[in-house]
């Protein structure tokens, strides 16, 4: 929609991995969060990113979007080396991703529509207000919010609506890549399942690639194509859940063979057997 409005198609890029990380090292003082971390994200997939609290999931996401300059290593996004640039340097890819940070904070003094317009104004200051309003309204509806949510302030929304509004803002620039840090945290299971279904649907219809940090086992089973596991300062395994279950790392076994995981797997299988999405309607 933006491209139509501005008549500027993004630079063509045909690689298989929109995100490629090699040898990543992140340290805070003497404390290393990542050491020699490698990861490739495939085009069109929802990659679930899991790991214990403090294993560096959010720091990894911040590194990929250039907010955390790594000590060592290379991170390529759409073939461009993010680590070679300053955080505010124009490198032609920053407008090709959308981000929903952990906690998903919307600007509380701005309406939903104004929140969605923040990245638009940042990257396309020439857009007039009428077009900004139109794009914001479209994004709000796209995420399943009623149109009358657009002029509301975050304090007037439920938790689930805030998440959708955050997603609308993340989608503002028609991104090809979406980064979500714990998007369903704090939602009730039904709200979380609806959010998952929405995310899967948007990913498929908009052709997104999604880097999804989550603790939510239902989300992993329901919508993730592959899962990357962070432990021991690295990505120790990436694959489908059945593939991960083949590995004998204790954290993976405990996580995916624990009672909560078995419950999520059972629900997922039951949903498939009934030939309808377990995630409910978006
Ligand atoms: N700006 C910072 N300065 C110093 N240490 C930091 C900073 N940001 C993160 N850390 C540390 O890096 C480690 C990884 O943090 P991170 O936020 O990535 O964890 P996480 O895997 O996202 O955890 P959670 O699941 O709780 O969100 C933690 O020990 C954290 O204290
Ligand atoms: Mg985190």
Per-residue pLDDT of the chain (282 residues), as tens digits, is 555 444 444 566 788 999 999 999 999 999 999 999 999 999 999 999 999 999 999 999 999 999 899 999 999 999 989 888 776 676 778 889 999 998 778 999 999 999 999 999 999 999 999 999 999 999 999 999 999 999 999 999 998 999 999 999 999 999 999 999 999 998 888 999 999 999 999 999 999 999 999 999 999 999 999 999 999 999 999 999 999 999 999 999 999 888 887 778 888 887 777 655 444 444
Ligand 1 within 6 A of CB of 26: no
Find out whether 212 and 48 touch, Cβ atoms under 8 Å. Answer: yes
Ligand with an atom nearest the CA of residue 62: 1
* Full-model pTM: 0.91
Atom 9 in ligand 1: residue holding the nearest Cα: 59
Residue 109: Cβ within 10 Å count? 10
Within the chain, residue ranges assigned H as helices are 2-6, 57-64, 112-123, 129-142, 159-170, 189-206, 217-223, 241-246, 250-257, 259-273
Atom 16 in ligand 1: residue holding the nearest Cα: 56
Ligand 1 within 6 A of CB of 51: yes
């Amino acid at each position: 929609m933006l491209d139509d409005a501005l008549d500027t198609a993004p630079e063509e890029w045909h690689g298989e991995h929109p995100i490629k990380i090699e040898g990543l090292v992140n340290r805070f003082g003497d404390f290393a969060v990542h050491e020699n971390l490698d990861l490739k994200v495939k085009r069109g997939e929802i990659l679930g990113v899991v790991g214990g609290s403090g294993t560096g999931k959010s720091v990894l996401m911040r590194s990929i979007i250039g907010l955390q300059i790594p000590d060592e290593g290379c991170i390529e996004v759409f073939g461009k080396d993010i680590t070679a640039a300053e955080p505010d340097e124009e490198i032609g890819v920053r407008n090709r991703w959308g981000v929903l940070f952990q906690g998903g904070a919307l600007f509380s003094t701005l309406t939903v529509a104004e929140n969605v317009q923040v990245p638009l104004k940042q990257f396309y200051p020439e857009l007039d207000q009428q077009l900004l309003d139109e794009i914001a309204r479209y994004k709000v509806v796209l995420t399943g919010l009623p149109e009358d949510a657009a002029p509301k302030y975050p304090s007037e929304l439920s938790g689930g609506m805030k998440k959708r509004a955050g997603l609308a803002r993340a989608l503002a620039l028609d991104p090809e890549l979406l980064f979500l840090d714990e998007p369903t945290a704090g939602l009730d299971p039904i709200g979380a399942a609806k959010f998952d279904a929405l995310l899967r649907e948007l990913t498929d219809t908009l052709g997104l690639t999604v880097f999804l940090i989550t603790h939510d086992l239902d989300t992993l089973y329901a919508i993730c194509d592959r899962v990357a596991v962070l432990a021991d300062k690295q990505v120790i395994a990436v694959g489908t859940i059945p593939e991960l279950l083949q590995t004998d790392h204790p954290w993976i076994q405990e996580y995916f063979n624990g009672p909560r995981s078995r419950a999520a797997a059972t629900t997922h299988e039951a949903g498939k057997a009934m030939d309808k999405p377990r995630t409910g309607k978006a």
